Structure 1
Amino acid sequence: MTAIGKDGFDLTRRTMLAGAALGLAGATTSPAHAYSAAQSRRTRPLPSDFLWGSAISAHQSEGNNTNSDAWIAENVTPTVFKERSGDACDSYHRYAEDIALAAGLGFNCYRLGIEWARIEPSEGHFSNAELDHYARVLECCRSHGLRPIVTFNHFTTPIWFAARGGFEVADSPDLFARFCGRAAEHLGGLMHMATTFNEANIQLFVALFPLAETVRNAAQAMVDACRRATGSPRFSRLAFADPAISTPLMIEAHRKAYDAIKAVRPDLPVGLSLTTTDIQPVGENSLASQYRDRLYGDWVAAGRSHADFIGVQTYTRLLVDSRGFVAPPEGAEMTDAGYEFYPAALGNTIRWAHGAIGKPIFVTENGIATDDDSRRIAFIDAALDSLGDCIADGIAVHSYIHWSLIDNFEWTSGYDKHFGLAAVDRRTFRRTLRPSATHLGAIAKANRI
């Protein structure tokens, strides 16, 4: 992992993928010849209820999420964040503009997050005003013909929750389930589907990487600064918690939240979203299967018992030999986030989820960081080809949701990584559609793959 400027280290989930090779040479940033839009084949009609859409998260787009643990972490010294989220994309106030943008492209669903830190600003005290705000957001989706897919937690928690120890405290599952139940009760029938955690296995993903001592020390120094800022020696952020302690508690939290949502909305499909990197073996005695087991752990069992569907979230592949991660092939194209351009990973992870968990599959995130929009179009086409091959083989896949609708705050790497179908002016907040947006929208309108 390399430092970004003088202010922080790149520890985002998407850009963590770039650390798999950890200094190994071999890849380039020149466009690969393996994928092109011309290869796209769109002849197979899909069911009328197939979901096409784009994703957005609360903290990354809303702005001024001042009561969250992420806001504290961004603003302490030292920090691993390159810059502060600040106003983000001002989607808290401009949500109607974003929703209209998505609907105008021809999508029929909208994946978004509700922010726990806003809804329960202090322990046990819920804000009806904020719940009403999110109800208006969902009503706006419905009025534009978009079915809302709601994420109850997208990496952030309230400050009070982090200060008491986050998901490293025994009663944390009950607190998370209480929040989910209260939100589900208020938002009622406005939700079309929901997931508890975004990428529930994120900590197991991070644990796969042999982080350099300087990076570990920098992250620990930031957490220590958060503890001083909150006056709590127990401060714990989800992404930096000890997975040996927090993962079992998060699995319990998912199960209890699933039950709590179902108690008030028994008909609402509630799923499990996972980070589903395509781990491929290289050579003899590859450790790929062991790495795969470590990535998913006991979340596979949780998906089988407490999920109506699995949310697949895939960006690339990782290569593993008998010693660990290896570099991408010589000459492989790399995205701006620093990992290999490999859209076929989507089909491979769909096949993994189908075989390992056996629940209906929804692609809830797939995308690319690039400032060359022609490569985004090529990525989308090739990813959809791999998804189409899965459907042709009889695998039930029910959505393609692109990350993201707009360029937004990409965690520790700030605003430098552009995943959006639309660019956002950081001063005026003006949204400008890229050609990839209308390209994907045309595919969605045709509903063929």
Structure 2
Amino acid sequence: MRSRLRRTALTGFAATAAFLLVTDLASATPPPAAAAVRSVLGDDFLWGVAASGFQSEGNAPDSNWTRYIGEKGYDPYENAGDFYSRYASDIALAAHLGAKVFRVGIEWARLQPQPAGWDEQAFRFYDAVVAAILDAGMQPMLTLDHWVYPGWAADRGGWMDPAMVTDWLDNARHVVDRYADWNPVWVTVNEPVAYIMHEVRHNGTDAAVMLDRIAEAHNNIYDYIHRVQPGAQVTSNVGYVAGAEPEVNGPLMDRIGEKLDFIGVDYYFGLESPEVKAATRPDGSLPAPVGMWDLPIRPEGIYYALQHYSKRFPDKPLYIVENGMPTENGNARPDGYTRADHVRDTVYWLERAKADGMNLIGYNYWSITDNYEWGSYAPRFGLYTVDVLDDPTLTRQPTDAVDAYRRIIAANGVPTSYLPVRELSDCALVDPPASCETPVDVLERSNSTA
């Protein structure tokens, strides 16, 4: 009762801000009724969308990343997607999809701009965000650390500071105490290994030291969350690396695997072909780095990512915490493959994984809107595209995937007649050795299985 009263008080203005948008959405053509055939994913499958704090919010306080942007000559941050002001309408967009989960970050740099204390106004902002998610009928998935920490922590050396874990836990406990009674799902640290690599590149951080400290932070806050919120679901999502997952994320999972209530997996790309990796310029030099949109899209690879973790942790549920496809500045891909194609193909492979016994419980699309992709606005992942650098209105423009994902959620999957648009890649380019030793083929499915 206390939580509901507090949410009601906090979200009155949020509901008003979203009213016109929700009214417009309500008049849109609804998706078709779910098929009579029972989905293999199960009635309790969690369809969601994801966003992060720094990448989406704008109005950013001093942090390691505001400094990296200035030092490295990256795209100016501007105001990102201005989720800070537009959270109510963005949450309404997700609710209109039928999403059950909305993932968002709770930014340490915003909450604790100085080491001496916390900013109550910043907490009230996140109170309103979490309340709006709940009042829209979705469950919040809250990320404690999405690669950003306060400027004062950067001044002390970031993760090389021996006191970093203590400071991190102090903030994280404040967040848990604030929101535990609203029953969120928790992500402690987003893609720790990728986080480490960013800090190595930007800050000269020792990777082994940071890995140990991230694991210590996760394991400590996991125990604390379960003391404050009995029955909580807690993870630290891994950024899956096809063909090298045991080597890349294995050491992390060795340290934190026992303190994960479910395995959170982010999956995006397969392997480059040998020709691409070996390509050189006429003068013999290596080619310029490709854009994120040039990386290989192999949707069937998500099956092998789930297979890998279902074998490593057979007693733990699996959840795709992030998945999506980048385009260059929102332009069509040269191969004609669309965002709608990609989400439908991906869900086909999720259903295949579930039908083959993998305990998959949820899927989040990355992301609800385009955002700041760690130095650039050129990679666009959003269901709704936003041209931050050239559109001062930051208008959310729906991509073709909006209707596709809405229909998927309504039907709890793709039609039983659906076959992937994307042809299977050579097994050596998906996720070897598993993709070659135990390949999975495209199958027509009977009405009794999906």
2:255 aligned residue (281, 296, 302): 302
Structure-1 residue corresponding to 2:54: 59
2:298 aligned residue (342, 355, 359): 342
Q: Is the 8 A contact 1:362 1:398 kept in 2?
A: yes
Structure-1 residue corresponding to 2:421: none
Structure-2 residue corresponding to 1:141: 133
Structure-1 residue corresponding to 2:3: none
Question: CA RMSD, aligned part only?
Answer: 2.4
Question: What SS does the aligned partner of 2:245 have?
Answer: helix
- 1:194 maps onto 2:212 in alignment: no
Deviations 1:81-123 (A, max 9, x none): 2x12121111011100100011011111111111110111112
Deviations 1:201-243 (A, max 9, x none): 2156679xxxxxxxx9xx5xxx5xxxxxxxxxxxx4xxx6221
Residue 177 to residue 407, structure 1, CA distance change in 2 (3 Å): same
Structure-2 residue corresponding to 1:313: 266
Of structures 1 and 2, the one scoring higher in RCO (CA 8 A, sep 6+) is 1
Structure-2 residue corresponding to 1:269: 233
Mapped partners of 2:270, 2:141: distance in 1:
26
Shift, 1:56, TM fit: 0.6
Mapped partners of 1:154, 1:361: distance in 2:
20
Deviations 1:164-219 (A, max 9, x none): 11112223222212211110101232242011011112156679xxxxxxxx9xx5
Shift, 1:128, TM fit: 2.1
- Superposed counterparts of 1:251-266, under 5 Å: 251-266=215-230
Q: Is the 8 A contact 2:218 2:256 kept in 1?
A: no
2:351 aligned residue (368, 385, 388): 388
Q: Is the 8 A contact 1:300 1:357 kept in 2?
A: no
Structure-1 residue corresponding to 2:374: 411
Amino acid at match of 1:247: L
Residue 335 to residue 203, structure 1, CA distance change in 2 (3 Å): closer
Q: Is the 8 A contact 2:183 2:229 kept in 1?
A: no
Mapped partners of 2:198, 2:175: distance in 1:
29
Mapped partners of 2:368, 2:87: distance in 1:
12
Mapped partners of 1:355, 1:206: distance in 2:
29
- 1:103 maps onto 2:95 in alignment: yes
2:242 aligned residue (246, 268, 278): 278
Structure-2 residue corresponding to 1:37: none
Structure-2 residue corresponding to 1:372: 332
TM score, norm. by length of structure 1: 0.74
Structure-1 residue corresponding to 2:114: 122
Question: What SS does the aligned partner of 1:181 have?
Answer: helix
Shift, 1:335, TM fit: 8.1
Structure 1 stretch displaced more, 435-444 or 263-272? 263-272
Mapped partners of 2:68, 2:365: distance in 1:
28
Mapped partners of 1:192, 1:132: distance in 2:
17
Structure 1: runs of 5+ lacking an equivalent: 1-41, 208-215, 224-235, 280-290, 328-333
Shift, 1:399, TM fit: 0.8
Shift, 1:425, TM fit: 4.1
Q: Is the 8 A contact 1:135 1:190 kept in 2?
A: no
Mapped partners of 2:76, 2:60: distance in 1:
11
- 1:429 maps onto 2:390 in alignment: no
1:180 aligned residue (150, 159, 172): 172
Q: Is the 8 A contact 1:273 1:364 kept in 2?
A: yes
Residue 126 to residue 205, structure 1, CA distance change in 2 (3 Å): closer
